[in-house]
Each structure stands twice: as C-alpha cells, then as structure tokens.
Structure 1
C-alpha cells in the first residue's frame, strides 16, 4: 500500500433542476463496506485536523460543503489533494498518514470508515508511523 493507492472516486451524480443527488452504496461505489460514519464541521481557520494513520482502517473523505486539503503520506512519498465537490470522495487505505488543512468557511468533511473505532488501529506519532512504514518496527497490531 502507498500513496499510489489513494484515489479520488467519482460518486454517482443524479442531476435534477430541484437539486442534485449522489448516492454511496456499500460494496458498489467504494472498495469497502462501511461500518461507521462521522463528520468534521465548524473547523476554525488555520486549524489542521487528523494527523494520524490507521493500520488497517479504510476511509472515504468527502467535502460535503466548502473545501479543504488532504495531505497523504505513505512514509516514502507525499501528495496533496484538494477536495471541494460533494460527488467526489478520497479513498484512503490503511498505513497512510493523513492531515486535513486549509478548511474553507462552513466546510463539512464526511468520513465513511470500514470499521468501528479502535484506538489500537491508530498511529498518532509520526516518527513511529515512519518506522513502521519502513519496516523497522512491527505495527501496532504486532505484525511485521
């Protein structure tokens, strides 16, 4: 897995003069079944969110309103993706460090997650993540 596995996914967009509609179906539009949904909102300007990696958890991030940047890092390369369309989601597999920044006013970030919250699936220290990404220490789950 790496930054190359991070990808923008176009979600179905049904046009209607009364307002557009997009849909996400488990196992159909994204490469995982989701078990948890959460969202970030009222993020103060200049604030950075996330700043972690998950060992196995997969996520889809969607800018439901406004915009923000997502910096992804696999321990070897980094990329910055700007999200500002509610019919696009950013797929992030496990072992990718992510940071969210540059939130516009009134932005909302919706996150679909492949599993329930599990603190043991998180790297919150960047140096520990880098060591695991380079295979120098076992990951949090005890796997090399």
Structure 2
C-alpha cells in the first residue's frame, strides 16, 4: 500500500510585483508530490452548493483557487478534520486519496485541480460509510 501525506498547503512561487502583476509556476515533480495526469477546473458554482463529498482510492490532487475563495474541509478516516481557506492563487492544497473532502465556493471562484491520474469513476468513494470502511482498514 502506498503511503500518502496528510492534507497540507503548498506555496508556489509568486513572481512579479503589483505594478506588472504576478505569475506562479511549478514544474513536474517540483512542489507537487505526483506527476500530473489530469487538469480540470470548476467555476460559477452557487455559494449555497457544497461540492466534493467524496474521497478516492488512488487519486492525489492539488486544489488551487485561481480566483475567488474556496473553503475546503478534509476529514481523515481517524476523524481528524481540517478546514482550509484558499484565496491566494499561489497556494494550493494537497488532498491525498485517503481524505474525504468538501468544497464551498464564493460565486466568482475558479478552482483549478491538478490530479495524479485520469478520471475513473471506480476510483471515487462517494458514500461516507464506505470511505470510513476502506481507509480505516488500511
């Protein structure tokens, strides 16, 4: 079984200054603990909607609030719950497969997700009790 780090923030370089703007960058295997196999983004999510509500068997992700604010709650199978406020586009949140996670967005939020594997529905654990069963057993 692979060992994964717990959820944690990753600071990307913030290059530039207020007069010209900023760029943040990472290269493969620098700052990211995995090779990126899929990139997707979410946007125009109503503030009343909570997305996520799942964990994964193998997918690792880094979530970035490219715009707006995203509140991410992670829970590990041992009951450890953490709340992360993403609102700086040079900060990402590492979410390992063993973390149940939910996201709530400001209306203007754009979430960029860097994922370790291509989409596979079978990788998703969408039932909370199943998440506890799978990850407590390891």
Structure 1 residues not aligned, in runs of 5+: 136-143
CA RMSD, 1 decimal: 1.4
More strand by share: 2
Q: Which consecutive residues of structure 2, in runs of 5 or more, have no partner in the other structure?
A: none
After TM superposition, the runs of 4+ consecutive aligned structure 1 residues lying more than 2 A away are none
Paired residues for 1:56-75 under 5 Å: 56-75=58-77
Q: 1:83-122, aligned counterparts within 5 Å?
A: 83-101=86-104, 103-122=105-124
Structural mapping, 1:1-144, within 5 Å? 5-16=6-17, 17-76=19-78, 77-101=80-104, 103-135=105-137
Residue 141 of structure 1 is matched in structure 2 by: none
Residue by residue over 1:66-105, the C-alpha shift from the partner in whole angstroms, topping out at 9 and shown as x without a partner, is 001101011221111111000000001111111001x112
Residues 4-55 of structure 1 deviation map (CA, whole Å, 9 limit, x = unaligned): 7111000011013211000121111211110100001000121001111011
CA distance in 1 between counterparts of 2:24 and 2:64 reads 12
For 1:105, what is the secondary structure of its paired residue?
Answer: coil
TM-score (norm 1): 0.88
| TM-score normalised by length of structure 2 | 0.91
Which moves more between the two structures, 21-30 or 108-117? Answer: 21-30
Q: Single out whichever of 24-33 and 60-69 deviates more from structure 2.
A: 24-33
